[in-house]
């Protein structure tokens, strides 16, 4: 099942499927942390600027790994009402968890952008990149919050995505691009030989490298 040596190889395999967008001066948006190494390789191949879009998963209070939604920058909050109903929780029950994630989003925006402006997405082609999608909750929040910024085109690009999730997400974007869409995904890490957790320092290093090589995304957005 392990199709990719690591995220770098996954990005290099994904990039050729996106070459057609290079002429549209796209903005590549990586989802920290794991999506950024993949997105960096896509950005290099397309000669396009790279930035991040911050989104944090909301977990059940007694089981944080069980995601019931997400908070994305721009103030968007998504809660899966079906899951909440199944575990007998209301949106009010999740208020503290949502507020915590909102604070985390603000902190991580400051960490990864360091005071730089959020790039303007209005009228742009935005390619959202992650290292894989199993359930789609965080990606749904990301896409919805990005759509609110008024881009011309939103493309979602991932090395691997669960087939049932892909069928839902492809209606939320202009194009979904993936290398694999298995019916039984099991876990994203199973598709990588090396799925070591990406550190904040690595994300910062790649973003700085991309600004040096490909230009600052916030500056590029003002000149297109």
Tens of pLDDT, residue by residue over 44-97, are 999 999 999 999 988 887 777 777 888 999 888 888 888 888 888 888 888 988
* Domain count for the chain: 1
What residue has token string 């749904």?
Answer: 140
* Residues 15-26, mean pLDDT to the nearest whole number: 97
Decide the pairing of beta strands 50-52 and 63-72.
unpaired
Residue 221 falls inside a structural domain: no
User: In which domain, by residue range, is 162 found?
Assistant: 7-212
Our separate counts of H helices and E strands in the chain read 8, 8
Residue 137 falls inside a structural domain: yes
* Nearest-angstrom CA–CA distance, 181 and 210: 29
pLDDT of residue 216: 82
- For residue 111, the domain's CATH number is 3.40.50.2020
| Sequence-separated (6 or more) residues with CB below 8 Å from residue 201 | none
Residue 204 falls inside a structural domain: yes
Distances (CA, A) of 42 to 9, 28, 57, 210: 11, 8, 24, 11
Residue 170 falls inside a structural domain: yes
Is the link from the previous residue into 46 a cis peptide, with omega within 30 of 0?
no
User: Nearest to residue 141, comparing CAs of 150, 131, 128?
Assistant: 128
Kind plus residue range of the DSSP H or E element containing 113 = helix 95-113
pTM of the model: 0.90
pLDDT of residue 130: 97
pLDDT of residue 76: 87
> Mean pLDDT for the chain?
91
Q: CB of 221 within 8 A of CB of 116?
A: no
């Amino acid at each position: 099942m392990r199709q990719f040596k690591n995220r770098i190889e996954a990005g290099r395999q994904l990039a050729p499927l996106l070459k057609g967008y290079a002429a549209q001066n796209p903005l590549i948006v990586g989802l920290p942390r794991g999506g950024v190494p993949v997105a960096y390789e896509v950005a290099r191949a397309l000669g396009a600027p790279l930035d991040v879009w911050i989104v944090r998963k909301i977990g059940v209070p007694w089981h944080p790994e069980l995601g019931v939604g997400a908070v994305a920058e721009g103030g968007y909050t998504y809660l899966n009402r079906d899951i909440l109903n199944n575990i007998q929780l209301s949106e009010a029950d999740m208020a503290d968890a949502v507020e915590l994630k909102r604070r985390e989003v603000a902190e991580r925006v400051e960490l990864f952008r360091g005071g730089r402006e959020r790039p303007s997405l209005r009228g742009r082609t935005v390619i959202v990149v992650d290292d894989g999608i199993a359930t789609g909750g965080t990606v749904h929040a990301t896409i919805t919050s990005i759509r609110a910024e008024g881009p011309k085109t939103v493309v979602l690009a991932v090395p691997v995505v669960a087939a049932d999730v892909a069928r839902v997400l492809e209606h939320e974007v202009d194009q979904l691009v993936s290398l694999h869409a298995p019916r039984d995904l099991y876990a994203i890490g199973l598709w990588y030989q090396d799925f070591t957790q990406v550190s904040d320092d690595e994300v910062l290093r790649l973003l700085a490298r991309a600004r040096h090589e490909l230009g600052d995304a916030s500056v590029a957005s003002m000149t297109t």
